[in-house]
Amino acid sequence: MSNVDLITSPALAAHAERIVAAIRNFAPGADVNVRLARPNGGTGAGDEAATQAAWESYWSGGGHEGKWLYDAIASFYRRAIIRPAVNHFLGRTFAPGARVLHAGCGSGAVDVDASRRVRITALDISPLGLAEYARIHGEGTTLMLGSIFAIPAEDGSFDGVFNLGVMEHYWPADIGKILAEFNRVLKPGGHVVLYWPPAWGLSVIVLKMVHGALKRIGRGDIQLHPPEVTHVRSRAETRGWMEAAGFSMETFYFGPRDFFTHQIVVGRKHGRAPS
């Protein structure tokens, strides 16, 4: 690995060196270029430091006793089932070479193939998550340390935004703020693609059963993953969120392509794409 770009918001710049150190731990010769980028706007919801601490705890395994089991199962699931679904919907939505923001990228195991087709900027609030993304993706990776409520990018910077397994971790009052920030950094006519578990999704049902079984044997304290507080509940509610944030909802898919795991929502920002 010879070149990694790291963009950071001023509020989180103090954590950039942790990412650089982690990258150089597995790639001693890595050239990591760090630069500041101030969010041009942002919805400013929530406590950035508290959010970062929660996700750092998750990535380090703290407070999630069953994370090793969840990760082992999820790793296979992501490679065999989710990654092909990501390839399909990103492939049909974004042109080759499009500039796409992976907003809440985590380790990025799902976009390894897609990153060879489009130019992905990997945004996350967790230094540990971004370091893992760089480890998996290697040379030429562009990382962005920041919040999805205040993305350190100019208005209209990206052709597309996508995420997977992110929206469900935020309260309903925050969903519109997140979508509005995605709209801000998109070019007119740009698309957002959300892989968002619905209440009727297979993974939601299975995890409820597992947590229920753990409670019955007195191990309700075990958390396999961060809490999921907002699942997709209806087409009408989702369309309302999208339209309020300036998107036309073009796709609302649930089916076998990702083994009935996510409601895949594609929205188009109002306005004409530049020719």
Q: Confirm whether 275 is domain-assigned.
A: no
Give the pLDDT of residue 29.
84
**Residue 274 lies inside a defined structural domain of this protein:** no
- Domain of residue 186 covers 3-269
Quickly tell me which residue has 């999704």 as its tokens: 201
Per the document, the length of the chain is 275
CATH number of the domain that residue 197 is part of: 3.40.50.150
pTM: 0.92
Determine contact, residues 100/118, Cβ cutoff 8 Å. yes
Query: How many domains does the chain fold into?
Result: 1
Which pLDDT band, with edges at 50, 70 and 90, does 118 fall under? very high
d(CA 258, CA 94): 19
pLDDT digits (tens, 9 = 90+) for 173-204: 999 999 999 999 999 999 999 999 999 999 99
Angle at which helix 235-244 crosses helix 172-185, to 10 degrees, equals 50
User: What Cα–Cα distance (Å) separates residue 65 from each residue in 53, 220, 240?
Assistant: 17, 11, 37
Give the residue from 158, 157, 175 showing the smallest Cα distance to 166. 175
Residue 76 counted as domain residue: yes
Distance CA 148, CA 37 (A): 14
What pLDDT was estimated at residue 210?
81
Angle (nearest 5°) at CA 162 between 237 and 120: 170
